[in-house]
A and B are shown apart, each in its own frame.
Chain A
Amino acid sequence: MQDDRVLLRMEHVSKSFGEVRALKDINMVVYNQEIVGLVGGNGAGKSTLIKIIAGLLRPDSGAIFFDGERINIENPRKAFELGIYTLHQRMEEMLAPHHSVSANIFLGNEKTKPLFKVLPWPRVLDKRKMDAYAMELLRSLSINIDSVKRPVVSYSGGQRQAVALAGVLYRKPKLLLLDEPTAALGIKEKFHLLNLIKRIGKEEKISIILVSHNLEEVFEVVDRIVVLRNGEIVGECRPCSASKEAVVSMIVGAKGGEPYAKNTQ
């Protein structure tokens, strides 16, 4: 479902932690409305790469272009301003547990209305509007939450993940970074979340980078797979034209992979 416009381009990005070279000369492109799967073994540099894009780490060298402009993502807030949002393995850590689902979806972006209609100030929270909007948003994502007024602690892990995802989608992101989103979930919840990810990529017109250990789910969801090994991109392929065995051999570094030509436009 991608179009040909480049959303994110990384050129010669490197990052070291002391002696350890976590990322070596990374060149990577993400197109508009594309879902990219980032795979690799432990210590391959997946998390480092994601953290750089999310503004949690700063690269030692290299350039990052977003929407055609060269940018400097110095902190998470800067990333939000650009439209880059991250959801972690434990997304629920990014929720306020004793507050309602609605309050969590609108966290930091609450809707208000004037207290007296004729005066612009003081403004109060428009709770009814937020609850209605939250309910509608969750329904449109087919997330099964019976009441947006109940606190987040009373819902299951999968439902909390979905609420966190809804809270981010409400902000209309351009690029969504998913760092092992299904790692803490049960089979049924995992299936549901993957479907959700696949759908929002198409319907909400956003690009997604999905980091995962699970090749099954990567093949299921993504448009393109990027394989990292020892801080380098060792191959790219499309799930429709590559076998899992080929990707596995790229991850572990055995021969027999069939890497595509690297995208270097």
Chain B
Amino acid sequence: MAPPLYFNMITNFSRVVELQRKQLLTIILENAVWIILCIFVIINAFVTPKFLTLLNIRNILINASVLGIVVIAESLCLLSGHLDLSVESTLAFGAVIGALLLRNNLPVPVAIVSVLLSGVAVGFLNGLLVRKVGLNAFVATLITYIGVRGIALGIVEGKTIWNLPVSYCFLGAGTVFQIPVQILVLILLYVFFYWLLTSTKFGRHVYLIGDNPVAAWARGVNLDRVIISVFVISGFLSAFAGWMQSGRVNSATPNFATGMVFDAMASAIIGGVSLHGGVGSLPMALGGVLLLTSINNVLNLHAVSPYWIQTIRALMILLAVLLDSFKRRLVRYAG
């Protein structure tokens, strides 16, 4: 019988088209940040003078690097289902510790190791407060958010330390073949942590714990070890970013990066990292960082009043969250 067969073929064909359209939409939504970033760059290449110049792009990347590293730290915590508010305080604390030791004529390597260890210590404290004391991550890191900046303010009595050794500043201000070191480091860190999250057992456990901690626990995943490690890595990266920041401006002040935690969370959310944990990816978070930094850059080039930047950022986050919930619904009904 020809008609039914013919009919069948048509319905099958339309189903395939339907499926492909859905898959295409999912792919677009999953890479929404990069697509939006591309559109943004293309539009501004015409609209904004001096936007698409090598110097300006270099400028954007340099401005993105410190925030970008903090976003890796924040994303790791968010993926495991935890908030880390203390990243910006750890950044300032690390910077101040390093500068203080250098001021007291300690060798550069000692200062660098101390900076990184101070970050590890803050992260470990966060991890202990969450897993061993049993505090909510928001509360635990709120304590260190306030306290650690307090210590940074206390040990230098609020003063800024200037004139750091050139070798210490290499990370933040040096260049290799005319490419700023901080951009190279940013790329390396993203590649490494992307690999860590997607290809290792540790990374998979970070995602699974964020998605359903009870399931992970019930199947014998060591929650204490994974979550404390996540906080330690977060602290380490934040202090590392502090070292970079102080090298860039050749000074260290306990008021470094005030409010950066909100930029970091905004970037991660714009990049599609879920606040509930378990969903999101680092390349998308990097897209969020670059988009946020480019927007700031364009507003600067157009000499828009900086007082409006916050509002625009809020709209960006709103858009990102709406896209995310749309994507979620699509995934659920795709089958």
Residues of A with Cβ closer than 8 Å to B? 76-77, 80, 93-99, 103-104, 107-110, 112, 122-125, 150-151, 153-155, 167
Q: Are A151 and B331 in contact (CB under 8 A)?
A: yes
Q: Contact at A96–B208, with CB atoms within 8 Å?
A: yes
A124 to B201, CA, bound (A): 7
- Inter-chain contact A94/B200, CB cutoff 8 Å: no
CA distance A77 to B218 in the complex (A): 7
Provide the B221-261 mask, 1 if CB < 8 A to any CB of A, else 0: 10000000000000000000000000000000000000000
Expressed in whole angstroms, the minimum distance between the Cβ of A148 and any Cβ of chain B is 14
What is the total number of residues of chain B having a CB less than 8 Å from a CB of chain A? 22
Q: Give which listed residue, A93, A95, A97, A125, contacts B204 with CB less than 8 A.
A: A125
Instruction: Identify A77's interface contact among B201, B220, B279, B331, CB under 8 A.
Output: B220
Q: What is B's interface to A at a CB cutoff of 8 Å?
A: 199-201, 204-205, 207-208, 211-212, 214-216, 218-221, 278-279, 331-332, 334-335
Complex Cα gap A196–B75 (Å): 41
B204 touches A76 (CB 8 A): no
Assess the B212–A110 pair: CB atoms within 8 A: no
A122 touches B200 (CB 8 A): yes
| Interface SS of A by simple majority | mixed
Cα A93 to Cα B217 in complex, Å, equals 12
Q: Which residues from A are CB-within-8-Å of B279? A: 98
Contact A94 B214 (CB under 8 A): yes
**Which of chain B's residues have a CB closer than 8 A to the CB of A80?**
220
Q: Contact at A96–B278, with CB atoms within 8 Å?
A: yes
CB-CB under 8 A from B212, the residues of chain A are 93-97
CA distance A107 to B209 in the complex (A): 10
Contact yes or no, A110 B201, CB < 8 A: yes
A95 x B218 contact (CB < 8 A):
no
For B334, list chain A residues within 8 Å (CB): 154
| A-side contacts of B216, CB under 8 Å | 96, 107-108
Q: Which chain B residue has the least Cβ–Cβ distance from A91?
A: B215
The 8 closest A-B pairs by CB, nearest first: A108-B219, A96-B211, A154-B335, A124-B199, A96-B212, A107-B219, A108-B220, A108-B221
Instruction: List, in ascending order, chain A residues with CB within 8 A of B220's CB.
Output: 77, 80, 108-109
Contact of A154 among B215, B278, B332 (CB under 8 A): B332
Q: Provide the bound-state CA to CA distance between A46 and B163, in Å.
A: 73
Which residue of the partner chain A has the closest CB to B222?
A108
Asked whether A153 and B331 contact (CB < 8 A) given A97-B212, A107-B221, A108-B219, the answer is yes
Asked, given contacts A99-B278, A151-B331, whether A94 binds B201 with beta carbons under 8 Å apart, the answer is no
Nearest Cβ on chain B to A88's Cβ, whole angstroms:
10
Interface centre among B205, B212, B331 (most CB of A within 10 A): B212
Question: Shortest CB–CB separation between residue B81 and chain A, in angstroms?
Answer: 11
Q: Inside 8 A of B214's CB, which chain A residues have their CB? A: 93-94
Residue of B nearest to A150 (CB): B335
